[in-house]
Amino acid sequence: MSTRDFNEHSITDAVVERFADTPDPRLRQIMQALVRHAHQFVREVELTQDEWLVAIEYLTRVGQICSDKRQEFILLSDTLGISMLVDAINHRMPAGATETTVLGPFYVQNPPIKPSDADISGGESGTPLYVTATVNGPDGTPLPGAVVDVWQSDDDGYYDVQKPGEDPNLRARFIADENGKVSFWTIVPKYYPIPADGPVGDMLAATRRHPYRPAHIHFMIGHEGYEKLVTHLFIEGDPYLDSDAVFGVKQSLIVTLVEGQGTPPAASGKPQAGQWMRLDHAFGLKPAA
Ligand code: BEZ
Ligand code: FE
């Protein structure tokens, strides 16, 4: 192959060929496919030099806003649907296993361990919600000892980690009992915007996209011998279920809250009067390969 005088077509094969000696076959496959697709993209839109400079400045800004508290590249991947595409390819679930969705930026390692029926709302205002969840294998066998991490935003749409000086709030770890069950009090979650004050927000605004995610509660569930499940439960009736900014909604993850009847199950500090809701859900874990 000629090594000079490339034109707008022949340059692609030349660059692909330059990666031919990559020892790791997977890295070789990825680099060569990346070059082919990126070149084809440039040809398809006939990118101008000014536009390429705008793109480079944009990605520079995405990098510059990243910190130990903010990962704008993941947010960009989320809003371009790439996170959910990678998730879909890597989580082809068998019957009986709960579908997965994005992790999001607000998970905190090792959340406070709470006992059954604990109230995780930390006094936040909102409609009380009593959640019971069972963790099973795909055939419905309960998985005692499963580790269930939950986290959600408050009634104003903020996670504790977005509020300076806040103690861990609306997040906890529960250990499933002998029936594979955990239970806790929280508040009904509400829709909220993803962080939109940076380059990702600029992209959404320029393309007339809104930044909202429909109301949800995050779950991360682990048990030896099973794949870790990262998912949410979305609340039926939310106005953003069909336009989630990060494409994370799956029909099987939408749940209907029912109005609680009678005396609410006990929990220290929970008001024992007034309206409350309940959510009962069974999760299925996929056996590890
Ligand atoms: C979240 O649900 O916490 C989230 C997910 C993706 C991007 C931003 C937020
Ligand atoms: Fe969230």
Same domain as 8, residue 88: no
d(CA 19, CA 282): 48
Same domain as 3, residue 100: no
Q: Is the CB of 284 under 6 A from ligand 1?
A: no
pTM tops 0.85, yes or no = yes
Q: Is residue 72 part of a domain?
A: no
67 confidence band (pLDDT: 50, 70, 90): very high
Same domain as 90, residue 14: no
Same domain as 143, residue 3: no
Q: What token pair was written down for 41?
A: 């993209």
Q: Is residue 59 part of a domain?
A: no
d(CA 48, CA 25): 33
Total domains in the fold of the chain: 2
Domain housing 240: 77-284
Q: Is residue 71 part of a domain?
A: no
Same domain as 36, residue 85: no
d(CA 181, CA 111): 18
pLDDT, tens only, 177-226: 999 999 999 999 999 999 999 999 999 999 999 999 999 999 999 999 99
CA of 42 to the centre of ligand 1 (A): 30
Same domain as 235, residue 189: yes
Q: Is the CB of 204 under 6 A from ligand 1?
A: no
Q: Which atom of ligand 1 is nearest to the CA of 195?
A: 8
Q: Is residue 64 part of a domain?
A: no
Question: 82-90 and 72-79 are packed helices; what angle lies between their axes, rounded to 10 degrees?
Answer: 80
User: Given a cut of 70, is residue 269 above it in pLDDT?
Assistant: no
